[in-house]
A = this chain, B = another copy of it.
């Protein structure tokens, strides 16, 4: 209920919204490959509507960087180059760092314990299956950002997460388990507990920037 992160927990009240959520979800799950063309008619048929709402959804997805829209040439899934992936992580590092810094004065013990529990669930998800871990991980970062109570900041960060999510899934499927992840996330919580805003900001920045090189291995040179 408290999570206002854009990617989660919305249900469509209009056809365009439904199309948007449908496509976004498919993209986040990696159902389409980078460079692949999204045919409006097919997607429209899939959801049971005409091409028009789908086209409008494309506009939004394009402005969030999930697809690329070229005049008269249709809609293709946006692939990331290694440089672009690093760029996303650089932006994430400062934005989520900011979120943490702003969150510090607002944090109480109850919320920290909730994060502890979330970390446990992440760990279990990592052992049991695979792609569920990614969802938990998103939730972990999303919840911390939500503590900042900055709607626009939260929205931007969420949009960046959506772009990298498919690569997170690929990464998780190839490596057996992100061993350092648990420690790093525990360190983030510890930094939040410390109450030192600047310190926590730096810890979050380091955590995010440290993840990028691992993911970069799995970027398909599809461009």
Contact = CB atoms under 8 A, between A and B. Distances in A.
A173 B1 CA distance: 43
Interface residues of A, number: 30
Contacts of A55: 56
A91 B153 contact: yes
Nearest to A52: B52
Interface in A165-194: none
B60 A152 contact: no
Interface stretch (A93-101, A113-121, A131-139, A210-218): A93-101
A219 interface: no
A221 interface: no
Interface of A: 13-14, 16-17, 55-57, 59-60, 62-65, 71-72, 84, 87-88, 90-91, 94-95, 97-98, 102, 150-153, 156
